A and B are shown apart, each in its own frame.
Chain A
């Protein structure tokens, strides 16, 4: 089915993000995003807005900090859903670390034969201390 084919193509795009973050490789991460994409989230200081290029800084900061959780473990990626209509789509992914979890929502578009993340928002859930 065409739908299944597109979902697989979207997974290919998400995989750049997964592999890039596992390897702290900004170049690979950015392959998943359209250059016009923005990432937004709400921090304790309010709205934070990051362009795609922020991954260069973020990956450098992680590489310089051995204690950063991205260095200590690779998260389990849980693709909760992918929903496709023509050349527009949405996806939800949980990145499960041992002490916290990111829930990401993406909107995506298909252009020039491949899918790009156009917008990313996320929420961080801290797990209760189970020790």
Chain B
């Protein structure tokens, strides 16, 4: 594993836009973590779901108008499980722990013009009690 402390801190700063943006349901802050060309993928019961960063506008607006939305009910802990850096490329694994379920996210990141951006995201939701 390549250790570059400055890049590690810079990547955590990028991820923190996502973490703090979701805490406050602030789409603009979340989108700072993502490159505009980034895509997020997940599997839903209806199949593959592909989302550009702009989906956070709708997602945050929907969560704000729904007091029952799980994003409000976060006994939340965000764990950066792993971070691996090679030059201008990096990968991170993050667990978002909500009450009753957890997202495991995998990010690919690139360093462009001196800062790190999420370029690709895939995630899986684990419901408490599920066995893998």
Name A residues whose Cβ lies closer than 8 Å to a Cβ of B.
Answer: 2-3, 34, 36, 38, 40-42, 46-47, 49, 81, 83, 85-90, 92, 103, 105-111, 118-125
Contact = CB atoms under 8 A, between A and B. Distances in A.
9 contacts: A46-B112, A86-B125, A88-B104, A103-B86, A105-B90, A105-B91, A111-B47, A118-B41, A121-B119
B48 A109 contact: yes
Contacts, number: 120
Interface string B105-129: 1111111110000011111111000
Given A103-B86, A121-B119, A123-B89, A83 B110 contact: no
B132 A122 contact: no
B88 interface: yes
Contacts of A106: 108
A19 B39 CA distance: 27
Interface residues of B, number: 37
Q: Interface majority SS on B: helix, strand, loop or mixed? A: strand
B84 A88 contact: no
A122 to B, nearest CB: 6
A83 B122 contact: no
B106 A110 contact: no
Contacts of A85: 104, 106, 124, 126, 132
Contact of A107 (B84, B88, B122): B122
Contacts of B109: 121
B124 A123 contact: no
B110 A47 contact: yes
Contacts of A120: 108, 120
B103 to A, nearest CB: 9
Interface in B66-100: 82, 84, 86-91, 93
Nearest to B95: A85
A85 B48 CA distance: 16
A62 B120 CA distance: 27
A3 B123 CA distance: 16
Residue from A2, A49, A107, A120 with most neighbouring chain B CB atoms (10 Å)? A107
Contact of A92 (B47, B84, B87, B110): B84
Given A107-B107, A118-B39, A125-B86, 14 more contacts: A40-B37, A42-B111, A85-B132, A88-B106, A89-B122, A92-B91, A105-B89, A107-B121, A111-B43, A111-B47, A119-B119, A121-B119, A122-B89, A123-B87
